[in-house]
């Protein structure tokens, strides 16, 4: 069955480039981005993993841990990291999970049960569904799932934007409008009546419609 938002992310143990982990224990009280790629030594993913390494300080500011995954073994990841650093100027500074028995990829619904039990002989095309991004909260619930096509590099700046929205809306009774960026006005939840909203947001708000109330959460 496919994973859904709000579901507890499946726990697992696995070997990574930074040692063996138990996933939920490794996340701890942090947020987490788990992102997968179809195969080591592939062009698009080389650019992605290097860019994620360069973004690490931004994720750390938000108390977010990063972890990568592919169906290749850990030793392959370590060899590929040299190419990533050569091309992108930064090697992965986060753990990369080795999943050669496809166990975690299947656990997260990224490969079908019929995919077999080993990564040996598999091509990027065979593994193309292993190209997902999961954002997981400190409560271990899945907050975001995005699956990308093989030909399209992922926009990790957008993942940061979504995390900013998720963290804001976890603290305040608001949602964020289209193309929202940190510092911009949010929207008071439609389920909050005006009487309660006046207590929560004494600075007031701008009502475009009775159900659409923009509020400056930075005031």
User: Among residues 163, 102, 146, 133, which one has the least CA distance to residue 37?
Assistant: 133
Which of 9, 45, 88, 133 is the catalytic position? Answer: 45
Is 45 one of the catalytic residues? yes
3-state secondary structure of 59: helix
Q: Are 174 and 168 in contact (CB under 8 A)?
A: yes
3-state secondary structure of 199: helix
Q: What share of the chain is helix, strand, coil (3-state, %, to 5)?
A: 30, 25, 45
User: Among residues 127, 128, 166, 123, which one has the least CA distance to residue 148?
Assistant: 128
User: Among residues 141, 54, 40, which one has the least CA distance to residue 92?
Assistant: 54
Q: What are phi and psi of 16, to 5 degrees?
A: -130, 175
Quick one: how many helices (H) and strands (E) in the chain?
A: 6, 11
Angstrom distance (rounded) from CA 162 to CA 179: 10
Length of the chain: 219
Cite the active site residues.
45
């Amino acid at each position: 069955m496919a994973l859904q938002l709000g579901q507890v992310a499946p726990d697992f143990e696995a070997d990574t480039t930074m040692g063996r982990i138990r996933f939920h224990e490794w996340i701890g009280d942090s947020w987490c981005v788990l992102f997968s790629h179809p195969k080591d030594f592939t062009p698009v993913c080389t650019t992605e993993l290097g860019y994620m390494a360069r973004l690490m300080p931004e994720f750390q500011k938000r108390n977010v841990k990063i972890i990568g995954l592919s169906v290749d073994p850990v030793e392959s990841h370590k060899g590929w990291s040299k190419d990533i650093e050569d091309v992108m100027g930064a090697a992965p500074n986060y753990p990369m999970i080795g999943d050669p028995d496809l166990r975690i990829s299947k656990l997260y619904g990224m490969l079908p049960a019929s995919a077999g039990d080993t990564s040996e002989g598999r091509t990027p095309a065979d593994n193309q569904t292993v190209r997902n991004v999961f954002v997981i909260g400190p409560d271990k619930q899945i907050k975001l799932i995005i699956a990308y096509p093989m030909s399209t590099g992922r926009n990790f700046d957008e993942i940061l934007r979504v995390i900013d929205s998720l963290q804001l809306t976890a603290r305040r009774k608001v949602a964020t409008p289209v193309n929202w960026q940190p510092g911009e006005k949010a929207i008071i939840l439609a389920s909050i009546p005006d009487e309660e909203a006046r207590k929560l947001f004494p600075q007031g708000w701008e009502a475009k419609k009775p159900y659409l109330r923009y509020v400056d959460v930075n005031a």
